[in-house]
């Protein structure tokens, strides 16, 4: 097993790398497709804006590489913006195309009286897909750490494996299809539940898709 963390010039690389190390693996940083030789698992941490992230991925030749990687059903874990870019587009960056792995649009939270945007802090993620391979051992309502103003609205509800409610709005907290998993929360900041999720991801290579 060889774990790669995508570096597109943004994102929370250090925290994700430290989480992987705590699970007994030493990740490598991938800033170009050429550096991904022999990599078995990819993570794309997220902190940043949809349009800027896509531009940086395109500049480094990583956008097409990621599409091919995911199309080949190789293990991919997207976090926050690394989740959002899997969809067609985002209200955060009108006119900018995402990777289009899943049909859908990334929406901004609607204004509500008393609702703070961004959504920041601990919140539960209710399992909607049952005990999937990534969700094993997490239970029905584990808590994770969130910080975001936008969230994906998948066109295919079958890929949604967890939902989160903030104010009066419920959104897709995580999706899973084959060896692709992505979430709006930050598992690297979510203590034991987050580490369990990442440990499950590292076990994907030993399981059939």
41, 148, 176, 188: which is the annotated catalytic residue?
188
Q: DSSP assignment, residue 186?
A: B
Tell me, yes or no, if 188 is annotated catalytic: yes
- Compute and round to an integer the Cα radius of gyration of the chain: 16
Q: Which of 148, 45, 167, 156 is nearest to 105 (CA)?
A: 156
34, 41, 80, 192: which is the annotated catalytic residue?
80
Tell me, yes or no, if 49 is annotated catalytic: no
Q: DSSP assignment, residue 1?
A: -
Tell me, yes or no, if 186 is annotated catalytic: yes
111, 176, 186, 192: which is the annotated catalytic residue?
186
Q: The dihedral of CA 16, 21, 27, 29: what is its sign?
A: positive
Could you tell me which residues come within 8 angstroms of residue 1 by beta carbon, excluding any fewer than 6 positions away? 25, 40, 41, 202, 205
Question: Strands of 160-166's sheet, edge to edge?
Answer: 28-30, 3-6, 41-44, 76-79, 180-183, 169-177, 160-166, 126-127
Distance CA 62, CA 55 (A): 10
> Which residues are part of the catalytic machinery?
80, 186, 188
């Amino acid at each position: 097993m060889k774990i790669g963390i995508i570096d597109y010039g943004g994102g929370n690389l250090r925290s994700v790398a430290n989480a992987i190390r705590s699970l007994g693996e030493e990740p490598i940083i991938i800033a170009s497709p050429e550096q991904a030789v022999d990599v078995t698992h990819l993570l794309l941490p997220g902190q940043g804006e949809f349009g800027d992230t896509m531009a940086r991925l395109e500049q480094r030749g990583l956008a097409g590489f990621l599409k091919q990687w995911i199309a080949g059903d190789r293990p991919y874990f997207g976090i926050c913006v690394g989740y959002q870019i899997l969809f067609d587009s985002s209200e955060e960056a009108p006119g900018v195309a995402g990777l289009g792995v899943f049909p859908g649009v990334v929406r901004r939270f609607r204004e509500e009286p008393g609702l703070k945007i961004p959504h920041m802090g601990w919140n539960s993620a209710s399992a909607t897909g049952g005990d999937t391979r990534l969700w094993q051992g997490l239970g029905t309502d584990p808590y994770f750490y969130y910080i975001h103003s936008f969230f994906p609205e998948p066109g295919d509800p079958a890929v949604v494996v967890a939902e989160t409610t903030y104010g009066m709005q419920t959104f897709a907290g995580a999706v899973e299809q084959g060896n692709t998993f992505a979430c709006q929360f930050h598992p690297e900041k979510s203590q034991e539940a987050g580490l369990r999720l990442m440990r499950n991801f590292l076990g994907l290579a030993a399981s059939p898709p």
